[in-house]
């Protein structure tokens, strides 16, 4: 139980930092907080952690905004989740050490269930430091001190919890120009924990198989052109990759889930369509997309949806628009650049996104070539790396590429003229 002295201290004005001016986002209005709101906001945050401290999961569910409660009730009272101590359910005690109001930019657009509150300014963000005892420790919580962002939201009944996510010291750079949704690039994950549409959590499943499942259920039965399929796979993969590293759904006991991705316990594709998608996922496996070099080549929230395009640089790949672009001859790289370059969906600006190839360290030792270009192939997956045109050097009677050594094809008439 949180001590009365701590409760009073945490609600005192000393804990109320003045937020910095938030970076604008078209889908997120500036938060609206009156002086009367502040103690109510802090009481909502404290009530949430107090419920966790007492392991009162029914009260914990009631701390959330009404539209969110059914999902959290399903999670909290699932026998498997309770037995395995999934996410926040593993916390045996939690004491709030401090809290402070922080900038609106911490209200991440990733949380689509909160967009209604964002659009009306009915939200606030708090940085909370807690001391927890966790058993068993999991990928999201461990024993000791930690910091978390709490996004609280307001309706006619008052203030409620919207969501929480782990705070990193890296986020301290956010107010100096590096957005808090960027996370450091790591090698592609091998596993991921996903919540499906029914609310079932699938723990540590194959990352590749997760991408196959989501792609099949998002666009697999729609007959998309190959480049549209590739672009969608990249958007799905990079969103899951980012979510795995960022742990923005830590309290829920999974890395990402419905409605952000459509992971199901079945495929909405026939055998032939599934085979096509699986092959496409294999082709795209070595590739990745990160923010520009100027922003640190970071993983970011590559949003996508099935609606009409929000336009160039929106940060949200439109599935139907990606198909339209592919039909008009655009490559998957061009499609990704169109939607994500200089985008600010969940951040100030990602710059010109970089599309790279994870196997680049495994280049073949010699060039492959055709009549106009040469390249190094990846020894792992066979993909072409750094395809460039030949650099021809003319010799007597023939030409030779100075880079790869390929001899230029010479017409027979030219050879005969030379022999004369």
Residue 21, pLDDT score:
36
pLDDT of residue 106: 86
- Give 101-132 pLDDT, tens digit per residue: 998 888 888 888 999 999 999 999 999 999 99
Report domain 4-176's class.
alpha beta
Note the pLDDT of residue 6. Answer: 31
pLDDT of residue 178: 37
At 15 the pLDDT is 29
Residues 6+ apart with CB under 8 A from 12: none
| pLDDT value for 26 | 60
Predicted confidence at residue 2, as pLDDT, reads: 36
pLDDT for 420 beyond 60: no
- Would the pLDDT of 211 be above 70? yes
Overall pTM surpassing 0.75 (yes/no): no
Percent of the chain with pLDDT over 70: 84
Percent of the chain scoring above 90 in pLDDT: 59
Q: Give the pLDDT score at 103.
A: 87
Q: What is the C-alpha separation between 28 and 346, in angstroms, rounded? A: 10
Q: Where in the chain is the domain with CATH 3.10.450.100?
A: 4-176
pLDDT at 353 over 90: yes
pLDDT in tens, 152-178: 999 999 999 999 988 876 555 443 333
Regarding predicted confidence, which is higher, 185 or 10? Answer: 185
Residue scoring higher pLDDT (394 or 13): 394
Residue 413 pLDDT exceeds 70: no
For residue 412, the model assigns a pLDDT of 52
pLDDT digit string, tens, across residues 302-339: 999 998 888 899 999 999 999 999 999 999 999 999 99
Tell me which of 382 and 140 has the higher pLDDT: 140
Give pLDDT tens digits for 180-191: 468 889 889 999
CA angle 224/228/229 to nearest 5° reads 70
DSSP characters over 317-370: EEHHHHHHHHHTT--HHHHHHHHHTT--SSSS---S-EEEEGGGGGB-SS-EE-
Name the more confident of 416 and 87. 87
200-207: long-range pairs with CB below 8 Å, 24+: 200/265, 201/75, 201/78, 201/80, 201/81, 201/86, 201/253, 201/254, 201/257, 202/263, 203/84, 203/86, 203/254, 207/240, 207/241, 207/244
Q: Does the pLDDT of residue 31 top 90, yes or no?
A: yes
Q: What is the pLDDT of residue 138?
A: 84
Taking only the tens place, the pLDDT of each residue in 189-207 is 999 999 998 888 999 999 9
User: Environment class of residue 49 by beta-carbon count within 10 Å: exposed (0-12), middle (13-18) or buried (19+)?
Assistant: buried
Would you state the pLDDT for residue 321? 96
Residue 9: pLDDT band with limits 50, 70, 90: very low
Q: Which pLDDT score, from 0 to 100, does residue 14 have? A: 29
Using pLDDT thresholds of 50, 70 and 90, give the confidence band for residue 213.
Answer: very high
- Is 17 a residue whose pLDDT tops 80? no
């Amino acid at each position: 139980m949180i001590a009365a002295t701590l409760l009073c201290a945490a609600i005192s004005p000393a804990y109320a930092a003045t937020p910095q001016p938030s970076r604008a986002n078209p889908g997120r209005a500036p938060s609206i907080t009156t002086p009367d709101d502040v103690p109510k906001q802090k009481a909502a945050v404290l009530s949430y952690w107090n419920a966790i401290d007492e392991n009162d999961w029914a009260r914990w569910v009631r701390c959330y905004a009404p539209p969110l409660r059914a999902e959290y009730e399903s999670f909290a009272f699932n026998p498997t989740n309770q037995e395995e101590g999934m996410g926040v359910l593993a916390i045996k005690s939690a004491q709030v050490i401090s809290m402070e109001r922080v900038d609106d930019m911490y209200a991440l657009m990733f949380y689509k269930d909160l967009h209604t509150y964002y659009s009306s300014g009915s939200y606030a963000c708090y940085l909370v430091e807690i001391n927890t005892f966790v058993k068993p420790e999991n990928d999201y919580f461990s024993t000791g001190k930690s910091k978390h962002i709490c996004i609280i939201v307001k309706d006619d009944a008052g203030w409620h919890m919207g969501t929480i996510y782990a705070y990193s010291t890296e986020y301290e750079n956010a107010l100096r120009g590096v957005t808090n949704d960027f996370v450091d690039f790591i090698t592609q994950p091998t596993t991921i924990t996903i919540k499906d549409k029914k609310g079932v959590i699938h723990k540590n499943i194959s990352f590749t198989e997760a991408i196959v499942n989501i792609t099949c259920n998002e666009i697999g039965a729609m007959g998309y052109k190959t480049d549209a399929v590739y672009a969608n796979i990249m958007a799905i993969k990079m969103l899951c990759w980012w979510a795995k590293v960022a742990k923005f759904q830590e309290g829920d006991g999974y890395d990402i889930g419905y409605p952000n991705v459509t992971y199901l316990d079945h495929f909405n594709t026939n055998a032939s369509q599934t085979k096509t998608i699986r092959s496409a996922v294999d082709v795209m496996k070595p590739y990745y997309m990160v923010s520009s070099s100027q922003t640190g080549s970071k993983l970011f929230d590559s949003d996508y949806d099935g609606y009409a395009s929000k336009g160039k640089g929106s940060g949200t790949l439109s599935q139907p628009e990606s198909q339209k672009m592919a039909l008009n001859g655009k490559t998957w790289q061009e499609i990704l650049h169109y939607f994500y370059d200089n985008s600010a969906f969940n951040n100030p600006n990602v710059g010109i996104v970089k599309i790279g190839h994870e196997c680049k360290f495994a280049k073949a030792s010699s060039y492959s070539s055709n009549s106009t270009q040469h390249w190094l192939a990846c020894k792992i997956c066979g993909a072409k790396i750094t395809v460039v045109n030949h650099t021809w050097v003319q010799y007597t009677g023939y030409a030779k590429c100075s880079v790869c050594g390929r001899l230029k094809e010479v017409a027979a008439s030219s050879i005969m003229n030379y022999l004369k």
